[in-house]
């Protein structure tokens, strides 16, 4: 059978909880519920967060395109987050700032709260408030929000390259980053 | 037990990647988180002041459906909490605390946590997702959206 599999709503929700449990388990065990791991990236002392993220992206991307090549997965039926170029550039920049200031992103805040961190609960309240701010300002920024739409486009489509070539670049980028991060972490630590 | 005794990030990343792969393979979309916050906020505002909520066009995507809380991402985030709780308990890493930088005052931390949260909540709506939905899931699909967000 060709995936994505069609499941009923009830089964889908059960799977949501089960997949969510694994998601949370690996986030927490990777240290991503710990805000010091995040600030460690900016102080160049602890690179656990990008290591987890990049490893996950490589594993999932390789699996997806392999399954697609084997005709086990129909990529055209997968929901791909549509690209809106400038809103996502701006959103990514503001997000990075919030990430750095708070020490969490939405998913890791939930993981942080689950490990007993009350500051994560404050961040979660803030995220809710920020969503409300967005909803209130939506009529004024709707034009920008919907600007530069490019659809659910992927990098292989954009550059007209085979996906394994793009993946090759991703592997090389990851290998270079992992190498530099390991070297940096091994240098003698100064007390901050 | 030793506090903060985490797994190797490569092992955790492998597990996370396989979870993401399974999610896309089975249900046809990736993992998310931020939309659950927006959804709960929209529903909460609607409970407190339905007339005001009706004015907020952006929230109508949640309020126009019959049972907005029967939502895939919300259930997934519920699972995320349980999984992270299990991980923290197993790793001896569970401790009720107010986490902050060593020399930071608690009032400052309250401010950075809430203020940072507002920026995150706003920007993840603007970008149509957060680290999980756009950067992680989109990144794995080699979607352009994921890679420009990550930049």
Residue-by-residue pLDDT tens, chain A, 192 positions: 577 886 788 899 999 999 999 999 999 999 999 999 988 888 888 899 999 999 999 999 999 999 999 999 998 889 898 999 999 999 999 999 999 999 999 999 999 999 999 999 999 999 999 999 999 999 999 999 999 999 999 999 999 999 999 999 999 999 999 999 998 888 765 554
What distance in Å separates the CA atoms of residue B119 and residue A134, rounded to the nearest whole number? Answer: 10
Q: Give the Cα separation of B3 and A42 in Å (integer).
A: 22
Give the model's confidence band at B2: pLDDT under 50 very low, under 70 low, under 90 confident, else very high: very low
Q: How near does any CA of chain A get to the CA of B36, in Å?
A: 9
- What's the pLDDT at A189? 58
Distance of CA A40 to the CA centre of its chain: 18
B68 at the A interface (CB within 8 A)? no
Contact B26 A48 (CB under 8 A): no
Local structure of residue A5 (DSSP, 8 states): P
Q: Is B28 helix (H, G, I), strand (E, B) or coil?
A: coil
- Check if the beta carbon of residue B25 is closer than 8 Å to that of residue A4: yes
For B129-139, the pLDDT digits (tens) are 888 878 888 88
CB atoms within 10 A of CB A95: 28
Exposed, middle or buried by CB within 10 Å (0-12, 13-18, 19+), for A57? buried
What values do phi and psi take at A79, rounded to 5? -75, 115
| pLDDT score at A161 | 94
A71: left (phi over 0), alpha (psi -120 to 50) or beta: left
Six token digits for residue A67? 């399954």
Chain A nearest CA to B49, separation (Å): 13
Q: Do A117 and B98 touch (CB under 8 A)?
A: yes
Per the CB < 8 A criterion, the answer to whether A91 and A190 are in contact is no
Separation of alpha carbons A131 and B94, rounded Å: 29
Quick: pLDDT tens for B96-125.
999 988 888 999 999 999 999 999 999 999
Q: What tokens were used for A71?
A: 């005709």
Q: How many Cβ atoms sit within 10 Å of the Cβ of residue A149?
A: 11
Q: Which pTM does this prediction carry?
A: 0.93
Print the SS3 string covering B30-96: CCCCHHHHHHHHHHHHHHHCHHHHHHCHHHHHHHCCCCCCCCHHHHHHHHHHHHHHHHHHHCCCCCC
CA–CA separation, A190 and A178 (whole Å): 21
Touching B: A residues 171-190, CB under 8 Å: none
* Residue from A3, A106, A152, A185 whose CB has the most chain B CBs within 10 Å, to mutate: A106
Angle, vertex CA B97, rays to CA B93 and CA B98, nearest 5: 130
Q: Which two tokens stand for residue A87?
A: 């809103």
Tell me the CA distances in angstroms from B106 to A98, A121, A157, B111, one per residue in order: 18, 14, 49, 9
Does B65 contact A at CB distance below 8 Å?
Answer: no
Give the H/E segment covering residue A83: strand A83-84
Q: Can you tell me which residue has the tokens 């809106």?
A: A84
């Amino acid at each position: 059978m060709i995936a994505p599999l069609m499941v009923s709503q009830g089964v889908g929700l059960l799977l949501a909880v089960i997949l969510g449990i694994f998601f949370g388990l690996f986030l927490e065990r990777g240290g991503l519920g710990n805000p010091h791991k995040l600030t460690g990236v900016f102080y160049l002392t602890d690179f656990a967060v990008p290591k987890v993220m990049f490893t996950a992206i490589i594993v999932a991307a390789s699996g997806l395109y392999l399954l697609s090549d084997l005709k086990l997965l129909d990529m055209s039926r997968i929901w791909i987050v549509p690209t809106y170029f400038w809103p996502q550039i701006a959103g990514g920049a503001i997000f990075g700032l919030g990430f750095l200031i708070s020490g969490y992103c939405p998913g890791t805040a939930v993981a942080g709260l689950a490990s007993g961190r009350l500051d994560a609960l404050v961040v979660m309240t803030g995220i809710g408030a920020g969503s409300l701010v967005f909803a209130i300002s939506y009529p004024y920024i709707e034009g920008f929000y919907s600007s530069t739409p490019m659809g659910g486009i992927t990098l292989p489509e954009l550059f007209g390259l085979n996906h394994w070539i793009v993946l090759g670049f991703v592997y090389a980028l990851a290998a270079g980053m992992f190498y530099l991060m390991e070297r940096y972490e091994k240098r003698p630590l100064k007390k901050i | 037990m030793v506090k903060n005794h985490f797994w190797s990030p490569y092992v955790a990343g492998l597990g996370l990647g396989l979870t993401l792969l399974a999610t896309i393979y089975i249900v046809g979309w990736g993992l998310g988180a931020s939309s659950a916050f927006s959804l709960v906020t929209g529903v909460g505002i609607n409970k407190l002041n339905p007339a005001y909520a009706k004015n907020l066009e952006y929230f109508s995507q949640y309020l126009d459906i019959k049972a907005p809380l029967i939502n895939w991402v919300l259930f997934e985030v519920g699972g995320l909490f349980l999984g992270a709780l299990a991980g923290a308990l197993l790793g001896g890493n569970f401790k009720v605390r107010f986490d902050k930088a060593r020399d930071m005052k608690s009032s400052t931390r309250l401010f950075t946590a809430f203020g940072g949260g507002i920026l995150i909540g706003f920007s993840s709506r603007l970008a149509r997702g957060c680290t999980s939905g756009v950067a992680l899931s989109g990144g794995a699909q080699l979607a352009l959206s994921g890679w420009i967000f990550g930049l």
